[in-house]
Structure 1
Amino acid sequence: MNYFLRNTLILLLLLTGTLRVQAQQSAERQERMNRIENAKIAFLTDKLSLTQEQAQRFWPVYNEFTDKRRDLGQKQKQLRSTKVESLNDQQIRDLLKQNTTLRQNEVNLEKEYYDKFQKVLSVRQTGQLLVAEREFTREILQKLGGGRRGGSPAPAGTAN
């Protein structure tokens, strides 16, 4: 019994330590995401030259758009992770159809929200939004070390 109790206690201590490390990593990841989100808000506000009134009306619409776009992206990612080798021909056809439908939904979402953005922003600002989003993504990737072609960081000792 003593042996069982001692091993159980050791296991609990190891598990508690592991959970604590995972919780800390999760908190750090969330903090990093919050910093990126705040930087994106500042970047887009500056690039689009949003007035205070425009910003108050734009950000709720934009946040709704990005949430819906993120959901579609997650669904696409799930489809891409499907092992085609384990599917029969009909399942593959269904998978291809689902992928096409999700891509069409993404285009429809962009059309819908570009119309909504133009109710808040000028046509020029709406056009600049797409460019500014790409610029921001490029800058973030470069800061994270993955901004080179191919998405991998530069080898040590080389210039970007």
Structure 2
Amino acid sequence: MNVRKLLPLLFLFVSFSFYAQGESMKEKREKIKALKVAFFTTELDFTANEAEKFWPLYNTFDDKQFELRHQKMRAYMKRMSDGSLDKISEKEANNFLVQMEETEEELFLLRKKFTQNLRGVLPSVKIIKLRKAEEDFNRKLLHQYRNKSQKK
């Protein structure tokens, strides 16, 4: 599995671990969103006009992406960790794979549509920088999570 496929899953695990640490998931998610806004604003150096058009698009995309990952991927992870995989039939495994692939396809199409929408708002260079900023942000968040876990 390459890093691009691994990062969203790691981000999902991080967000679930936040949920278990006292604050509600919604509060943690809002904190992460605020950090992300600050990070992207610094990294992408938006003009006022770009920012005004970008953030509604990004927030809609991010919410839909989170919903897909949260609802569907959580069910997949639960199923993979509950011990039932050892007892699953080949037909059930094939159906499970199809469901996982469909979710990955939904995420891909969501990203593709978002990128197309951005083309009317940002220059291509900033769209590419956004992708890099997202990866850098997720990496930084994961790094902070690991450091916090090691200190305990």
CA RMSD, Structure 1 to Structure 2 (Å): 2.4
TM-score by length of 1: 0.68
Deviations 1:87-132 (A, max 9, x none): 3222211111111111111111111111111111110010111110
Matched, 1:101 2:102: yes
**Hey, what's the Cα distance between the residues in 1 that align with 2:100 and 2:31?**
32
Task: Report the counterpart of residue 138 of structure 1 in structure 2.
Answer: 139
Match of residue 76, structure 1, among 73, 77, 80:
73
**Hey, what's the Cα distance between the residues in 2 that align with 1:132 and 1:31?**
23
Q: Normalized per residue, which structure has more helix? A: 2
TM-score by length of 2: 0.72
Match of residue 37, structure 1, among 22, 33, 36:
33
Deviations 1:68-101 (A, max 9, x none): 1112212123123213234322221111111111
In the TM superposition, residue 155 of structure 1 has moved relative to its aligned partner by 7.0
- Unmatched segments (≥5 aa) in structure 1: 1-24
Matched, 1:26 2:12: no
**Hey, what's the Cα distance between the residues in 1 that align with 2:30 and 2:41?**
16
Identity %: 25
Q: How many residues align?
A: 127
Higher relative contact order (CA 8 A, sep 6+): 2
- Unmatched segments (≥5 aa) in structure 2: 1-21
Distance 1:66 1:124, change over 3 A: same
